[in-house]
Amino acid sequence: MAEQPTHENVLVPTDGSRAARRAAEQAVALVRGSGGTVHALYVMDMGDADFVASPSDIAETRERLEEKGGEFVAAVEELTEEAGVECVTEVRTGIPEEEIVEYAHEQDVDFIVMGKRGRSDPDKPMIGSTTRRVIGRSDVPVRSV
């Protein structure tokens, strides 16, 4: 079996799904030995809220999503700590594929590893594939897991 190449900065967009966990495991394997960094990113998509809400409902939803996102990136960070790999975590708000591509550019990421299928979120039905849209927009190579 051929040895996997190493990368300096690998981005793992995460939504806490099993596929995202497998992507994080692959990202750790790609970074291990290079002295590089895994970047764990969760994007809160508040734009597709499928409800009419008062400002307090929106604030509560945002707080809940931010907490959930923090848990998701912390799970990736735990994987990296176990492997002795550096990790940077971030939670953002925006359109997921746009924020993922923008983050990759800002942080000089050289590879993106992401799950093919994400978690179904009761707050936002999944329409289309974020992974497919990232592949179409990114000039950074993307591995779909």
Has residue 10 got a pLDDT over 60? yes
Residue 127's pLDDT band, with cuts at 50, 70 and 90, is: very low
In order of their start, the domains of the chain are: 36-106 (3.40.50.620)
* Mean of the per-residue pLDDT values of the chain: 85
Share of the chain above pLDDT 90, in %: 64
Nearest Cα to Cα of residue 130 among 10, 11, 43, 26: 43
Average pLDDT, integer, range 69-93: 96
Average pLDDT, integer, range 50-79: 83
CA atoms within 13 A on the CB side of 85: 31
Angle at 17 between CA 16 and CA 18, to 5 degrees: 125
| pTM of this structure | 0.84
Average pLDDT, integer, range 97-116: 96
